[in-house]
Amino acid sequence: MHLKSEGQSPEPIVEAINVSRDFYIGGYKHQALIEVNLTVKRGDFFAIAGPSGSGKSTLLNILGCLERPTIGEVRIQGSSTRQMSVNALADFRAEKLGFVFQTFNLIPTLNAQENVEYPLLLLQMTAKERRQKAQEALVKVGLENFVQNRPSQLSGGQRQRVAIARAIVKMPLLVLADEPTANLDHRTSTEILDLMQALNQNEKTTFLFSSHDALVLSRAESVMQLKDGKMLQRKEFDHVA
């Protein structure tokens, strides 16, 4: 169970304000998101739920500064991203955000440690500092004995653990996880969610998921439902371990 200090309101990390996103397919406008409002606060374990095509991944991409909304505004720690340049957004992602993908997105020619080190190459760190931080992150996800293994030498669950280590290695403001259990069996999914919850509780890492997996949604403290790009409801839960 994730406990927040009584009498304190955690600061908003990311906010979507009347966010809409349109795409044009074959000359026809498709509204992927329609006036979505959302606030994720520090320490949240938050899920965006909905069926395929509901706009979950699009919203996650917008909140992760990978896409811009057609209409509306995204604020990061109170600052609008509307006027930020492409380079400024890229720098922000490199420094402050971690990403976990359903297909792992590991580099097959690199071993586990090198994959975890990879995002640190964009930061001002020495090779020794990168190596130390990568090893520490792999310890946190229980893979300290697999640092030299390449993705092809790891199970699906182990590859996702490497992906989580890569996401948390720079101690990000927010980790965005897009369908993180989609390619895992139930047992492995449970282990991965146990790991993420432990990082949330022990390291105070903030997680934002997009998922239609009932197991993920059962663990979330807040769930926002999307359907056809529209926000239906948001529910808060008090899970007892």
List, for residues 8-50, the tens digit of each pLDDT value. Answer: 678 899 999 999 999 988 888 999 999 999 999 999 999 999 9
Whether 94 is covered by a domain: the verdict is: yes
- For residue 3, pLDDT over 70 is answered with no
CATH number at residue 190: 3.40.50.300
pLDDT over threshold 90, residue 92: no
> CA-to-CA distance for 235 and 75, rounded, in angstroms?
22
Given a contact cutoff of 8 angstroms between Cβ atoms, the answer to whether 32 and 52 are in contact is no
Task: Give φ, ψ of 223 to 5 degrees.
Answer: -130, 125
User: Do the Cβ atoms of 207 and 43 come closer than 8 Å?
Assistant: no
- The type of residue at 95 is E
Beta pairing, strands 79-80 & 230-236:
unpaired
Positions of E strands within the chain: 12-25, 28-41, 45-49, 71-76, 79-80, 97-101, 174-178, 207-211, 222-227, 230-236
pLDDT digits (tens, 9 = 90+) for 185-199: 999 999 999 999 999
Phi, psi of 98, deg, nearest 5: -120, 145
pTM metric for this prediction = 0.88
Examine residue 130 and state whether it is found in any structural domain, yes or no: no
- Residue 28 domain-assigned (yes or no): yes
- For the stretch 144-197, pLDDT in tens is 999 999 999 999 999 999 999 999 999 999 999 999 999 899 999 999 999 999
pLDDT score recorded for residue 5: 43
Block residue for tokens 């600061």: 11
Residue 4 confidence (pLDDT) above 50: no
- Domain containing 230: what range? 12-104+174-236
Q: What is the pLDDT of residue 8?
A: 63
